[in-house]
Every structure is written in C-alpha cells, then in structure tokens.
C-alpha cells in the first residue's frame, strides 16, 4: 500500500476507530520527505550544528529544505527564558522568539525561517487543550496517543504544505531517554509508518568516548543510546558519531553490529578546527548521498547547483584560513560568563572578520561592577567595543561609562538595542546638558526620560511575546553612514519595549547626535551615528543586526566596526571598505525592503 492510500484509509476510519489523523489542507503525501535527527547519550554534542550542516548539504544539492526544531519544554516560546540558562533568545523575521538553534539554521542555510519552524511541547499541548474546549475531539477521551502525537505530526505536515520543501528537516530537542520528548519520538515512529517506506530518514547522533585512563575509544554508551531509540520503535538508517578523534573502523563496526546499521552508514563526526568545515566533512564521508539515496531523491539533485554552492563555501573557508590581521574587540556585557548569551554576536564577528581578512578576538568585559575610573584600564588594548542588548538595570552605568570613554577617545563602537539606548543616555547627559537623563526601564522618576516605553507597550501587562518583535523596515537619512551601508531602505530585526522618546530627538540632534534611520511610518529612531569627522565609528541601532548576519553576507554594521578596529590597530591600513559594491539602484524607498539587509543578489 502506498503512503497516499495508507493515509486515506487511516483517515476514513479515524472518526470512529482508534486512529486520529489530522492532515492540513493541501497535504500531498509523498511530495515531501522527512529527515529526523535524534540525540543519544548526552546533550551538548552539537546536534544543532550537525543538523544544520547536513541540511545545508541537501540544500547545496539543489533541494529545498525546511528545518524544524521540536522542543520538549513546556514554554510556548523562548521569550521568557533567561539567557543565563539557555543562551540567547533568537528572534525570527515574523517575530517568533525561539531557541538559538534556529539562528544556526538561518545562518547555515542563508534562509529566513518563521513560526512554523519552531514547535514546543507548550504549543502542542495548548493546541490540544484548545481543541478539546471547543469539542474538537467529538466526545472522545483525549490521549497522548493518538491526539497529542497527532498534533506533532500535524505541525510537520503544516510546514511541508507551507514550505513546499523537498525535505522537512526535523531536529528533536533533548536526548533520547528524556521523559519530555518521549511522545515526540513516538510521533516520529508513527510518521514513518504513515508516510511509508523511504519517506522518512532517521539519523541518530551519538557519542564515542575516549577516556584518558584507557586511551582507547569505547562504544558502549553509544550502543546503549541507540538501543534505547530502537526500543522506542525507531530503527536509525544513519548513525553519526561525535568524538574527539576520528572514530576507528572497529568501533564503527561494533556500533553497526548492535544497531542493524551497516558500518558504511556509521559516520565519524570528530572535532575539527571550525564548524564551517563540517558540511564538507559530511559530504566527504558520503553522509548526504546516503540520505538522498535512502529517500530516493536522486532525480531532484542539481549537480551544477551543488558545484557552485561548494565553490562559494570553500572560498569562505579559504578566506577564513588566510586572515592576516588581528584585532581585539571588547564585549561590554553582563552575561559575559555565559558565552551562549552572545552566540549570534560571536558569529557576526566571524562573518565580518572573514570578509575583511581579520581574526577578531573577543574580550569579555563584565560591566556589572565596573566603575567609571576603572573603564580606561578595562578597555586598554581593545580596538573597538560592542555594547550589547540587555534588560533591567544591572550593568547599565558600567556600559554608559564605557560608551563615554569610547566616544571621547575615538574608540570604535557598535551599540546594540540596550547599547544604543545607553549611547543616547550618555550623550544626553554629557553633551546635551541633561544630567539626570535615563531610561524609564532603569529610573522611572528621572528628570529626562530620553528612553521610555513605546506607546503600544504601555497597555501590556503580560510578559512573553509582547515586545516589539521581528522584522520591520526602516528608512535611512541621506548623507549618513547608514545610507551608505544600506541604501534608502533596510529591514531590521527587533526585540524591545523601550525607545528614544520623540520629545528629546530635536535636543539630541541639536547637540550633534545624528539619527540616521527611522522606522517606516512610525516615530521610532532605529539607527544613530556621530559624523565621521567627529568620531571614526560611533554607531548604534535599536535593532539586533547580529540576528541577520550570514557567513557569505556579513552585516554592514559589524563590517563597519571591524573595519574601524583594523584602522585603529594598523594605522597604515588603507583598503577602502565598500558596503554595497553594486550601488542602490533597485533599493527604492517606495518599496518594502528585502527580507535581509542585502540589497543585491
């Protein structure tokens, strides 16, 4: 029986039998294939990096790929998660606040994703409970199987319909054996049965230990992890082994023996110098070909597209390897002990540094306890700083002191979101004579609330999904650096509650601050800068440019900062920086900006 007739027969029966199979309108069985990646043994193996690299290999072959992350936690999204515990909250163009792995997919695939690409247990249960309250289950008792699992499968199929992708690429959050993702794994077992032979490819990521005391690789934890998956009714087709060193043949054979997977489909994914090398490592081992063959997608492969994609990627890698300069950039933050809180900023510097042939070394400068008279010493030796996003009051005065130092000593600066707001406060206090200037987030009673709540935010009481979120267009002002970087219009990504209070804009501009980017149709300042004859690079944005930087399309705001830092470190550096080599002919103010900062393809 093919998948279409199987699905039809289950559906026909589902009203009055044990089956329950919601299918989204327009779903074509067999049109989309699925790759599902499970993590075994332990977390922290780089499942997101592996999955996005494999997804990239498929995309390079000319296939359309729609990634989806299924998270076991009960939060509806990542909006209320602390970056201390979970790493940064990534924001998508449609405003979804999600896990940082979605950022890994957007960067690897150079593709925007949205709400449908991120599903949590919280969302699944909310849908099930809402449906139950409206009588949607026709008198039945609502059960984990088939109703909750049915909702999981439905979310994958919704993405298949909306994306019309060749492959929906599923990453299961957590590790096999967690209570919270057990029902998601069960849903994957059902999916494979319903979609039929060769429609779903199961990939197990596992870990091969090499304890120092033994000095040899041991496969037992890997075997047990995979056995656990098999006990849940999932037979992996491909096993990928994380390890410090290349996984030896005998170890791969042993894993093969215990898991019904031939040794040639047990791959080594050992540590390498750079995550950018992983797609080629997988390709070299034939892992991508194996997925294509298993899913019988050979006919959709475009060899010419693959050659071109590989060439571009290899060029990026060779640039990465041939950097000739080095700069130090300080990140003046408060979550400096948790690097994952700044994952996208770190990536953005890799992209910009690679484009400019420069190794950007990051220095973490904790601002929580930093006093104004300690700033000069703390920033000694850095060639530029980033003042990143934040919430609350802690570390604010330290950041303001860093900005003051940078502004008055010509040290290049990029202020991001909260950092942009702090730059406005510093300027108001020290240049425009508003001594008590502050943000109402920090001091609601201050005399000059130069940063205050967005009008639409005043009515909101709930947290979670209530900020100004996602992609918005901004216009740039003629004659500014922002115009040079972006052309007339640019799409930026946001996550904030506060903004520059419009009442103070005139006064700040009279004092010399240039607001060079404004939200389209709204009185919101999005970009600030100081003229180049006053400061080599003093720029801030209310947006989060780090969320839209891509390896082959570094974000201009980071390029500008790294370029300025190189000039500070190497005074005789004279290579001009061109932000948009092709000019801005097609970048017309009357049209919406393209989804990303790039205006030319």
**Interface ranges with ligand GLN (CB under 6 A):** 389-391, 417-418, 441, 495-498
Shortest separation between residue 540's beta carbon and ligand GLN, angstroms = 11
Say whether 495 sits in a helix, a strand or coil.
strand
Active site residues: 417, 544, 546
- In the numeric block, which tokens belong to residue 333? 């933050």
Strand partners, 358: 325
C-alpha span between 595 and 312 (Å, rounded)? 22
C-alpha span between 28 and 516 (Å, rounded)? 48
C-alpha span between 110 and 594 (Å, rounded)? 14
CB nearer to ligand GLN: pick between 389 and 554 = 389
> Tell me, what DSSP letter sits at residue 142?
P
Evaluate whether 439 touches 418 at the Cβ level (below 8 Å).
Answer: no
DSSP alpha helices (H): ranges in 87-181? 100-109, 121-133, 149-163
Smallest CA-to-CA distance from 332 within 281, 368, 373 is with: 368
C-alpha span between 476 and 516 (Å, rounded)? 5
Per the listing, tokens 């700033």 go with: 375
User: 137 preceded by cis ω (within 30°)?
Assistant: no
Shortest separation between residue 392's beta carbon and ligand GLN, angstroms = 7
Shortest separation between residue 162's beta carbon and ligand GLN, angstroms = 28
Residues in the chain: 601
CB nearer to ligand GLN: pick between 239 and 527 = 527
Shortest separation between residue 472's beta carbon and ligand GLN, angstroms = 14
CB nearer to ligand GLN: pick between 328 and 542 = 542
Helix or strand (DSSP H, E) at 516: strand 514-519
C-alpha span between 262 and 255 (Å, rounded)? 9
C-alpha span between 2 and 198 (Å, rounded)? 11
- In the numeric block, which tokens belong to residue 466? 């209530």
Q: At what angle do helices 556-569 and 343-355 cross, to 10 degrees?
A: 60
Evaluate whether 403 touches 371 at the Cβ level (below 8 Å).
Answer: no
Shortest separation between residue 106's beta carbon and ligand GLN, angstroms = 18
Smallest CA-to-CA distance from 227 within 208, 249, 255 is with: 255
- In the numeric block, which tokens belong to residue 223? 């075997």
- In the numeric block, which tokens belong to residue 274? 């750079």
CB nearer to ligand GLN: pick between 153 and 399 = 399
C-alpha span between 69 and 52 (Å, rounded)? 11
Shortest separation between residue 336's beta carbon and ligand GLN, angstroms = 15
Please state, as a whole number, how many other Cβ atoms lie within 10 Å of the Cβ of residue 174: 20
The region, left, alpha or beta by phi > 0 then psi within -120 to 50, assigned to residue 282 is: alpha
Shortest separation between residue 439's beta carbon and ligand GLN, angstroms = 7
Shortest separation between residue 469's beta carbon and ligand GLN, angstroms = 10
C-alpha span between 228 and 171 (Å, rounded)? 18
254: phi then psi, degrees, rounded to nearest 5: -65, -45
| CA R_g for the chain | 26
CB nearer to ligand GLN: pick between 58 and 428 = 428
**CB half-sphere exposure, 572, CA atoms < 13 A:** 0
Shortest separation between residue 108's beta carbon and ligand GLN, angstroms = 24
């Amino acid at each position: 029986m093919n998948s279409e007739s199987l699905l039809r027969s289950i559906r026909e029966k589902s009203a009055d039998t044990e089956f329950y199979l919601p299918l989204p309108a327009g779903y074509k069985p067999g049109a989309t294939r699925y790759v599902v990646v499970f993590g075994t043994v332990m977390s922290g193996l780089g499942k997101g990096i592996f999955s996005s690299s494999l997804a990239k290999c498929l995309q390079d072959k000319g296939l359309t790929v729609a990634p989806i992350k299924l998270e076991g936690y009960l939060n509806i999204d990542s909006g209320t998660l602390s970056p201390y515990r979970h790493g940064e909250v990534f924001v998508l163009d449609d405003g979804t606040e999600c896990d940082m792995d979605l950022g890994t997919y957007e960067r690897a695939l150079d593709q925007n994703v949205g709400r449908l690409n991120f599903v949590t247990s919280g969302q699944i249960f909310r849908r099930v409970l809402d449906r139950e309250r409206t009588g949607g289950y026709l008198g039945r008792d609502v059960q984990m199987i088939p109703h909750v699992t049915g909702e999981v499968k439905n979310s994958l199929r919704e993405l298949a319909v909306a994306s019309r992708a060749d492959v929906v690429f599923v990453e299961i959050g957590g590790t096999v054996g967690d209570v919270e993702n057990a029902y998601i794994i069960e849903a994957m077992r059902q999916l494979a049965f319903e979609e039929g032979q060769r429609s779903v490819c199961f990939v197990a990521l596992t870990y091969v230990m090499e304890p120092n005391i033994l000095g040899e690789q041991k496969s037992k934890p890997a075997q047990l992890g995979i056995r656990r998956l098999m006990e849940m009714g999932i037979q992996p087709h491909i096993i990928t082994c994380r390890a410090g060193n290349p996984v030896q043949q005998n170890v791969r054979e042993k894993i093969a023996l215990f898991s019904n997977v031939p040794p040639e489909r047990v791959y080594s994914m050992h540590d390498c110098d750079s995550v950018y090398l992983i797609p080629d490592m997988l390709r070299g081992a034939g892992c991508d070909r194996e997925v294509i063959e298993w899913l019988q997608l050979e006919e959709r492969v475009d060899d010419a597209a693959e050659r071109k994609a590989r060439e571009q990627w290899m060029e990026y890698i060779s640039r990465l390897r041939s950097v000739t300069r080095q700069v130090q950039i300080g990140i003046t933050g408060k979550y400096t002990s948790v690097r994952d809180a700044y994952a996208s900023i770190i990536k953005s510097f890799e992209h910009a540094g690679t484009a400019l042939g420069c190794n950007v070394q990051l220095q973490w400068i904790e601002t929580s306890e930093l006093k104004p008279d300690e700033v000069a010493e703390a920033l000694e030796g850095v060639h530029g700083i980033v003042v990143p996003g934040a919430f609350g009051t802690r570390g604010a005065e330290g950041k303001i002191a860093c900005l003051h130092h940078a502004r008055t000593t010509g040290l290049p600066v990029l202020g991001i979101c909260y950092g942009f707001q702090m730059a406005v406060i510093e300027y108001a206090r020290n240049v425009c004579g508003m001594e008590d200037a502050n943000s109402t987030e920090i001091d609601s009673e201050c005399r000059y609330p130069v940063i205050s709540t967005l009008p639409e935010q005043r009515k909101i009481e709930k947290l979670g999904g209530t900020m100004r979120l996602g992609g918005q267009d901004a216009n740039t002002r003629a004659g500014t650096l922002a115009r040079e970087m972006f052309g007339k219009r640019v799409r930026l990504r946001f996550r904030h509650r506060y903004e520059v209070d419009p009442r103070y804009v005139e006064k700040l501009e009279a004092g010399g601050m240039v607001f060079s980017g404004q939200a389209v149709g709204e009185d919101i300042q999005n970009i600030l800068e100081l003229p180049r004859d006053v400061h080599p690079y003093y720029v801030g944005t209310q947006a989060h440019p780090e969320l839209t930087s891509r390896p082959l399309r570094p974000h201009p705001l980071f390029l500008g900062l790294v370029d300025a830092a190189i000039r500070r470190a190497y005074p005789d550096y004279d290579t001009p920086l061109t932000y948009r080599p092709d000019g801005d002919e097609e970048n017309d103010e009357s049209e919406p900006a393209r989804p990303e900062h790039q205006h030319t393809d």
